[in-house]
Amino acid sequence: MSNAIIAKVRSILVEYASLGSEAIMSGAWAYPFLGISYVATHPNISKSILPIVSKTIMTSLGITGGLFFFTYIPQLAICALFSGPLAFIPATVLVLLESYLLVSFVTKTFFLSSGQDLLFDAVLLQQGNEQLVQNGREIQSSSNGIKTLGKPLSGLPSQLSKDRLVRYLISLPLNSIPIIGTVSFLIYNGSKLGPSFHSRYFQLKKYNKSQVSEFVQKRKGAYTAFGISSLVLNLVPVAGFAFSLTSTVGAALWASRLEKLKIDANDNVDYRLENDQGAAEINNQVPVELETLKS
């Protein structure tokens, strides 16, 4: 068992070692944190997500507390077989990861529905990307210039991914190895989680599967960095799912930046500017009225 886990760790480290420099230089790791500051400084956004955040915090508190009470000691005993006196580290990480999975499933199934895509579209619209948003949603304009988001024009991307859930479950044992195992878990799942935050962006761009694959492959390090940052925030006890919403905002800011850096009709981007954090812009060009996200 331990040899299999160690072999998995080695294969993951080899596969993603080359992404390290690209991930750091891309600056994409910062967007989940920019999403937090954006929500904090835009009252219309923060007010719209407050009811959902309140419900998810209560749900997360119950689930996380229950898991620590019932499962921490058994998992601590198992981790002690691999980690000795450091077993409390992987045991704690395991409980937090399990809590994240359960909270994510409950909130996305019963509370959020299509709310994340509405939030994503609202930030894109605020940043002046009306034409892009119109590809997938009705937009109404009032006489005073305030924009309001209407119904989606097509089915929205699913927020629940069975493949993602399976990956989490399969890779959970990596966390029984202190530090290295957890880092490997974050890299492996972060590389898969990152592109999912742009599923709505790809839909608005009307990309097919091959176009999405090519787009993501060109930015594999960037998406891995974004996914790792988002996943780390998601593991914050109780407040993790609130950070999932702010990461959605950060993903929209990143998508808006990509739109501003297009250099031709084929959506090619000037990579020199894409990786230049000093050129980042966060505007509030368009006043948008966003309804409260409903469960």
Average pLDDT over residues 31-52: 90
**End-to-end CA, the chain:** 42
What is the torsion angle, in degrees rounded to the nearest 10, for the CA atoms of residue 285, residue 117, residue 208 and residue 139?
Answer: -50
**CA atoms within 13 A of residue 253's CA, in its CB half-sphere:** 26
32-42 pLDDT, tens digit each: 999 999 999 98
H or E element at residue 66: helix 43-83
Is residue 281 over pLDDT 60?
A: no
Q: Which pair of structure tokens corresponds to residue 281?
A: 């812009």
Look at residue 185 in the predicted model and tell me its pLDDT: 86
Beta bridge partners of residue 141, listed in sequence order: 147
Q: Which pair of structure tokens corresponds to residue 48?
A: 């719209």
Look at residue 278 in the predicted model and tell me its pLDDT: 42
Is residue 291 over pLDDT 80?
A: no
Q: Which residue has the higher pLDDT, 88 or 178?
A: 88
Q: Which pair of structure tokens corresponds to residue 55?
A: 């419900």
As a whole number, the mean pLDDT across the chain is: 81
Look at residue 255 in the predicted model and tell me its pLDDT: 94
Lowest-confidence pick of 9-18, 53-62, 177-186: 9-18
**What confidence category does residue 279 fall into, taking pLDDT thresholds of 50, 70 and 90?**
very low
Model confidence, pTM: 0.83
Is residue 138 over pLDDT 90?
A: no
Closest CA to 203 of 249, 245, 160, 155: 155
